[in-house]
Amino acid sequence: MSGFEFVLGLGDDALVAAQRLAQWCARAPELEEDVALANIALDQLGAARLLLGYAGELEGEGRDEDALAYLRTDREYRNVLLVELPDRDFAVLMAKLLFLSAWQRLRYEDLAAGDDERLAGIAAKAVKESAYHLDHSALWTVRLGDGTDESHARMQRAVDEVWPYTHELLAEAPHLRANWLSTVDGVLAEATLRRPDDGWRPGGGRDGRHTEALSYLLAEMQVLHRAYPGARW
């Protein structure tokens, strides 16, 4: 994987996650959560902009963050499938955020100590944000898992649904797997939730083979930008 493709993948993860989070705006379960979700979306979007901007420089063909975000098809997106999954309910949103932020924290921590100075700078900022996202999603996972019968059932179903998609995350950085598992296991245990068995391992996002959901997500995100080619905003 070239440096460009690698950074692009990280940027796409953050951008698609931000887009899904933004879809919750004005419909969170409580007002405090509207503020928190917008905050997390802003963090993911901020990281995405820095990463895509850097990816464009690595590529060296004059594509900036917007060219990369708005003028690629779903087949050219390099995000993992987990981030594009639709949020059927608040439990799915939190399961996705828990798995993603636990992974992003470790990933960014690693990169912050890496040789690529530019990437290290971006990662050093993002790692602090990921720690907050992890705290927030862990808090909700525990509350929902150990809340009412209904919330327990919903949270367990969400974890079961999203779990297979975590394999794609871990596959590209196997050395972080044990650490990730111990974080996630701790949260699931406190939430009185069962860690699903490993079985199905969907993937392909890094190669541009996505779920059916991504094309719709991008259609919405890109519609205005594509309707006015070359315009400034």
Partner 1 sequence: MYGNDFAASGGELLDQVADAERELRAAADRSVRGGSDEETYFTELVAADQKIEPRDWMPDGYRKTLIRQIAQHAHSEIIGMQPEANWLTRAPTLKRKAILLAKVQDEAGHGLYLYAAAETLGVSRDTLYDLLLAGRQKYSSIFNYPTLSWADVGAIGWLVDGAAIVNQVPLCRCSYGPYARAMIRICKEESFHQRQGYEILYTLAHGTPGQKEMAQDAVDRWWYPSLAMFGPPDTDSTHSAQSMAWKIKRFSNDDLRQRFVDMCAQQATVLGLTIPDPDLRWNPDRGAYDYTAPDYAELMEVIRGNGPCNRARMANRRAAHEDGAWVREAAAAYAAKHAAPAAPTAEAVHA
Applying CB under 8 A, the residues found at the interface with partner 1 are: 15, 18-19, 22-23, 25-35, 38-39, 41-42, 45-46, 48-49, 52, 65-66, 69-70, 89-90, 142-144, 146-148, 150-151, 154, 220-221, 223-225, 228, 231-233
CA distance 168 to 220: 25
Cβ 96 to partner 1 shortest distance, Å: 15
- Minimum Å gap between C-beta 217 and partner 1 is 8
Q: How far is the CB of 29 from partner 1 (least distance, A)?
A: 3
Ordered DSSP codes for the chain: --HHHHHHHHHHHHHHHHHHHHTTTT-SSSHHHHHHHHHHHHHHHHHHHHHHHHHHHHHTSS--HHHHHHS--GGG----HHHHS---SHHHHHHHHHHHHHHHHHHHHHHHTSS-HHHHHHHHHHHHHHHHHHHHHHHHHHHHHTS-HHHHHHHHHHHHHHGGGHHHHHHT-GGGHHHHHHHHHHHHHHTT-PPPPP------GGGT---THHHHHHHHHHHHHHHSTT---
Cβ of residue 78: shortest distance to partner 1, in angstroms? 17
14 versus 106: smaller Cβ distance to partner 1: 14
Nearer to partner 1 among residue 61 and residue 227 (C-beta):
227
Nearer residue to partner 1 within complex by CB, 35 or 113: 35
Query: In this complex, which beta carbon is closest to partner 1, that of residue 73 or of residue 200?
Result: 73
Closest CB to partner 1 among residues 46, 203: 46
Minimum gap (Å) between residue 50 Cβ and partner 1? 10
